[in-house]
């Protein structure tokens, strides 16, 4: 784990930079979109302690600005009551000359967290993990696809028939990407360096125009903040260079893109997943919890209609609720035998996830396994794709409706994430499913225009 | 009815035991067709078409990609998503207008005509439809204590109350439109543009939407 991220975080100023004329206060909604507003310094000074009012509409609308209906709102939502974003001053950075940026959490008037606030969910799980003596170290591999056209051109084309940036030949690790692709990535990591986000590597990925950018291991809240901001930076650089970037699970009918999470649990700075003989007992229990909750967590890890189009055997994403030591065909890969690098790679999430909800789901599963001493099923030592139905390894839910049903019925995720969040999310996915099927989505197409229009630019 | 005249409607009979199955994890159109055919069977409507037809009928939405197949096999009816390469008949319908045909059917005209009839069960009085709706949905968490309905019909204004308690949700509008939404034949949100008015909180509106989905799509 790199110490740089922690160092940058701890030395950040807690007041706007001297040249700032405005502060952008921001946080993700449930869909993973980074939402916020730019406020003057005077306004920011007045509200930084008490918070800034936001309409609950940010949790109430879908990606087409329709109000999401289908469940009984808790009392605090009322008829779209205001909620309050309180900035976390440890996240304050100079975003660009004249503009600072700070990430916040949503709170109710009584000072309690908004139960469906994604960032507060991570806080809750981190605190609960701490109560049993562990701190999580996490990292993410961000995948995205770049296109030559500007966003305006992409919109005019309905996000179809775009030209992959850097050449149309797909080849992982290929160094022959053209200069425009390299220039883009170098500009991205330059921006990351300037706002203090520690990255470890970037490379060409499997599909034409695709890249993978690895953020450095750190604590869960910082990782989520870095992840959300990295997406924003990748968009802004694309705007500046008149290209387009998409985090959609499948921006074209070809390859999909994921977001693998790497996780280890530390105690007193020592990696508790390490054991000289293989997975430690703690690692095994974390695996047990992650697999016990995987069917329900799929609804969070594969949040949109298009997310499920990735679940095809032999194409990369896991398709079975499975784990194995150094098995990249399984849903959870255990990396063992090294005091520093022993970890779990949770391979289920798509690139279109909400970072905070994803980490909350991963931490909930691992914590459930640790607290309840859940033994994992036998690891899969064969290829975990294409397994016979009767081999005892279940398939990952392959539709949005199967996944929300599994989440709705999952007592562990209900306990660790809260009934209110689960009910909210299940209702929102039911709405999404209904919108897709009844408003023009085509389940029989490889990728329908409805999906491109709805998901290409978001989250 | 456009171009579907080959089927001769039979007199309504008593309910008969027919098997209408839908695939697992079915999309809304399959659920809608399955529920509608069950309603027809329950009402003894289109008995001949439901019990004696043999063949596959593709049902396509006229304005969305939704498509399903109804397989008839002498009383055993299976509804699945998508359409086979060569269905025996194809009908294109308006899903927001109670399966009203749009254009001419193709293939077996009698089979197509029978299917259209089977997909249009008779609707009961709005009060009975509201009572059935209430019984089917009252246990959904958050459904208001009381459903108040005010219907404007040919005989003037009439009203009914279902449930007991302090939280009331009011629906008012033309009796014909209310009948459609309470029976599941019509879409609730679309009914708001067709003369139905509601009084209640946004939360109640939200959960009532779920209730109408349950009746219309069994979801």
Q: What is the ipTM of this complex?
A: 0.92
Comparing A12-16, A315-319, A443-447, the range with the smallest average pLDDT is A12-16
> Residue A1 has what pLDDT?
34
Buried b (16+ CB within 10 A) or exposed e, B86-118: ebbbbbbbebbebbebeeebebbbbbbbbbbbb
Q: Give, in order, the Cα–Cα distances in Å from B34 to each of A213, B77, B177.
A: 47, 9, 22
What's the pLDDT tens digit per position in A262-274?
999 999 999 999 9
Average pLDDT over residues A356-362: 98
> Residue A169 has what pLDDT?
73
> Residue B10 has what pLDDT?
45
Q: Give, in order, the Cα–Cα distances in Å from B2 to each of A302, A418, A453, B94, B122.
A: 43, 53, 34, 12, 19
What's the pLDDT tens digit per position in B134-151?
999 999 999 999 999 999
What's the pLDDT tens digit per position in B191-201?
999 999 999 99
Count the alpha carbons within 13 Å of A283 in the hemisphere toward its beta carbon. Answer: 30
Tell me if chain A has a CB within 8 Å of the CB of B85.
no
Average pLDDT over residues A318-342: 97
Comparing A135-149, A166-180, A354-368, the range with the smallest average pLDDT is A166-180
The minimum CA-CA distance between B144 and chain A, rounded to whole Å, is: 10
> What would you measure as the largest C-alpha separation in chain A, in angstroms?
65
Nearest by CB to B66, from A73, A80, A437: name it: A437
Tell me if chain A has a CB within 8 Å of the CB of B66.
yes
- Whether the pTM exceeds 0.80: the reply is yes
Q: Which residues in chain A touch residue B206, judged by CB atoms under 8 angstroms apart?
A: 68-73, 427
Q: Are the CB atoms for A90 and A6 separated by under 8 Å?
A: no
Taking alpha carbons only, the member of A288, A279, A305, A272 closest to residue A436 is: A305
Q: Which residues in chain B touch residue A440, judged by CB atoms under 8 angstroms apart?
A: 64-65
End-to-end alpha carbon distance in chain A:
28
Average pLDDT over residues A21-48: 95
Q: How many cross-chain Cβ pairs, A to B, lie less than 8 Å apart?
A: 73
Mutation target among B190, B204, B206 for the A interface, most CBs of A within 10 A? B206
Q: Which residues in chain B touch residue A441, judged by CB atoms under 8 angstroms apart?
A: 64-65
> Residue A5 has what pLDDT?
31
Taking alpha carbons only, the member of B56, B63, B61, B107 closest to residue B78 is: B56
The minimum CA-CA distance between B80 and chain A, rounded to whole Å, is: 13
- Compare all CA atoms of chain B with the CA of A81 and give the residue at the minimum distance: B202
Tell me if chain A has a CB within 8 Å of the CB of B100.
no
Taking alpha carbons only, the member of B155, B198, B146 closest to residue B176 is: B155
> Residue B7 has what pLDDT?
39
> Residue A291 has what pLDDT?
98
Mutation target among A437, A446, A450, A451 for the B interface, most CBs of B within 10 A? A437
Instruction: Output the average pLDDT for chain B.
Output: 92
Tell me if chain A has a CB within 8 Å of the CB of B190.
no
Distance (Å, whole) CA A413 – CA A408: 9
What percent of chain B is helix, strand and coil (3-state, nearest 5)?
35, 30, 35
User: Where do we find the tokens 């890969």?
Assistant: A333
Mutation target among A66, A71, A400, A405 for the B interface, most CBs of B within 10 A? A71
Residue B36: pLDDT over 70? yes
What's the pLDDT tens digit per position in A372-410?
999 999 999 999 999 999 999 999 999 999 999 999 999
Task: State the pLDDT confidence band at A170, using cuts at 50, 70 and 90.
Answer: low
Instruction: Find the chain A residues whose C-beta atoms sit closer than 8 A to any C-beta of B.
Output: 67-73, 77-80, 399, 401-402, 423, 427, 430, 434, 437-445, 448
Tell me if chain A has a CB within 8 Å of the CB of B25.
yes
Check CB contact under 8 Å for A72 and B67: no
Average pLDDT over residues B22-34: 98
Q: Which residues in chain A touch residue B213, judged by CB atoms under 8 angstroms apart?
A: 70, 430, 434
Check CB contact under 8 Å for A70 and B65: no
Tell me if chain A has a CB within 8 Å of the CB of B141.
yes
Instruction: Output the average pLDDT for chain A.
Output: 94
Residues paired with A271 in a beta bridge: A266
The minimum CA-CA distance between A74 and chain B, rounded to whole Å, is: 8
> Residue B1 has what pLDDT?
29
Comparing B2-11, B72-81, B138-147, the range with the smallest average pLDDT is B2-11
What's the pLDDT tens digit per position in B88-139?
999 999 999 999 999 999 999 999 999 999 999 999 999 999 999 999 999 9
Nearest by CB to A444, from B65, B207, B219: name it: B65
Check CB contact under 8 Å for B142 and A399: no
Tell me if chain A has a CB within 8 Å of the CB of B64.
yes
Distance (Å, whole) CA A33 – CA A231: 10
> Residue B175 has what pLDDT?
97
- Compare all CA atoms of chain A with the CA of B68 and give the residue at the minimum distance: A444
Check CB contact under 8 Å for A73 and B202: yes
A459 preceded by cis ω (within 30°)?
yes
The minimum CA-CA distance between B101 and chain A, rounded to whole Å, is: 18
The minimum CA-CA distance between A73 and chain B, rounded to whole Å, is: 5
Check CB contact under 8 Å for B207 and A72: yes
Torsion angles phi and psi, residue B10, rounded to 5: -95, 155
Tell me if chain A has a CB within 8 Å of the CB of B138.
no
Q: Give, in order, the Cα–Cα distances in Å from A260 to each of A213, A280, A353.
A: 11, 21, 11
* Helix, strand or coil, per DSSP, at residue A219: coil
Query: How much of chain A, in percent, has pLDDT values that exceed 70?
Result: 97
- Compare all CA atoms of chain B with the CA of A73 and give the residue at the minimum distance: B203
Distance of CA B161 to the CA centre of its chain: 23
Tokens of B92: 């294109």
Mutation target among B191, B210, B217 for the A interface, most CBs of A within 10 A? B210
């Amino acid at each position: 784990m790199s110490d740089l991220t922690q160092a940058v975080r701890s030395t950040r100023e807690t007041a706007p930079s001297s040249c700032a004329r405005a502060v952008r206060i921001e946080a993700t909604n449930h869909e993973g979109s980074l939402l916020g507003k730019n406020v003057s310094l005077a306004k920011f000074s007045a509200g930084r302690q008490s918070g800034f009012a936001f309409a609950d509409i940010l949790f109430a609308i879908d990606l087409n600005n329709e109000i999401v209906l289908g469940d009984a709102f808790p009392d605090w939502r009322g008829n779209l009551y205001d909620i309050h974003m309180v900035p976390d001053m440890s996240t304050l950075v100079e975003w660009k000359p004249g503009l600072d940026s700070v990430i916040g959490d949503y709170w109710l008037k009584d000072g309690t967290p908004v139960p469906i606030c994604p960032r507060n969910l991570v806080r809750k799980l981190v605190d609960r993990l701490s109560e049993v003596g562990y701190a999580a170290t996490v990292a993410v591999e961000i995948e995205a696809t770049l296109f030559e056209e500007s966003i305006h051109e992409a919109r005019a084309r309905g996000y179809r028939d775009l030209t992959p940036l850097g050449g149309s030949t797909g080849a992982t690790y290929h160094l022959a990407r053209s200069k425009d692709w390299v220039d883009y990535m170098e500009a991205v990591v330059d921006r990351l360096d300037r706002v203090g986000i520690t990255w470890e590597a970037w490379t060409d990925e499997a599909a034409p125009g695709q890249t993978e950018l690895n953020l450095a291991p750190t604590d869960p809240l910082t990782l989520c903040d870095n992840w959300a901001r990295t997406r924003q930076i990748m968009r802004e650089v694309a705007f500046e260079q008149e290209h387009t970037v998409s985090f959609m699970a499948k921006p074209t009918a070809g390859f999909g893109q994921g977001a693998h999470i790497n996780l280890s649990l530390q105690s007193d700075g020592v990696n508790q997943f390490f054991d000289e003989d293989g997975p430690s007992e703690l690692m095994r229990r974390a695996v047990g919890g992650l697999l016990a909750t995987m069917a329900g967590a799929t609804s969070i890890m594969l949040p949109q209609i298009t997310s499920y189009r990735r679940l095809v055997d032999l194409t990369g994403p896991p398709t079975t609720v499975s784990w194995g030591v150094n098995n990249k065909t399984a849903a959870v890969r255990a990396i063992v035998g090294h005091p520093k690098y022993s970890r779990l790679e949770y391979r289920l999430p798509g690139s279109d996830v909400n970072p905070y909800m994803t980490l909350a789901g991963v931490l909930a599963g691992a914590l459930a396994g640790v607290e309840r001493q859940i033994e994992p099923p036998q690891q899969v030592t064969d290829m975990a794709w294409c397994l016979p139905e009767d081999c005892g390894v279940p398939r990952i839910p392959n539709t949005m409706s199967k996944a929300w049903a599994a989440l709705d019925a999952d007592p562990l995720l209900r306990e660790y994430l809260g009934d209110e969040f689960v009910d909210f999310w299940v209702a929102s996915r039911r709405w999404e499913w209904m919108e897709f099927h009844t408003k023009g989505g085509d389940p029989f197409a490889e990728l329908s225009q409805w999906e491109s229009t709805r998901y290409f630019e978001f989250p | 009815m456009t171009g579907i005249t080959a089927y001769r409607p039979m007199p309504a009979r008593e309910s008969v035991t027919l098997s209408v199955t839908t695939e697992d994890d079915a999309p809304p159109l399959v659920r809608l067709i399955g529920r509608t055919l069950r309603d027809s069977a329950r009402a003894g409507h289109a008995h001949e078409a439901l019990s004696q037809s043999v063949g596959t009928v593709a049902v396509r939405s006229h304005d969305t990609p939704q498509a399903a197949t109804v397989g008839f096999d002498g009383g055993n009816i299976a509804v699945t998503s998508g359409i086979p390469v060569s269905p025996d008949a194809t009908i294109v319908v308006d899903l927001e207008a109670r399966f009203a045909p749009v254009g001419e059917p193709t293939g077996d005209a009698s089979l197509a005509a029978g299917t259209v009839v089977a997909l249009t069960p008779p609707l009961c009085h709005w009060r009975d439809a509201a009572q059935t709706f209430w019984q089917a949905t009252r246990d959904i968490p958050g459904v208001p204590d009381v459903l108040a309905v005010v219907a404007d019909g040919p005989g003037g204004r009439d009203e009914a109350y279902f449930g007991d308690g302090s939280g009331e949700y009011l629906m008012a509008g033309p009796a014909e439109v209310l009948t459609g939404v309470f029976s599941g034949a019509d879409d609730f949100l679309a009914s708001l543009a067709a003369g139905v008015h509601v009084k209640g909180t946004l939360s109640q509106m939200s959960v009532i939407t779920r209730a109408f989905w349950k009746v219309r799509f069994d979801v």
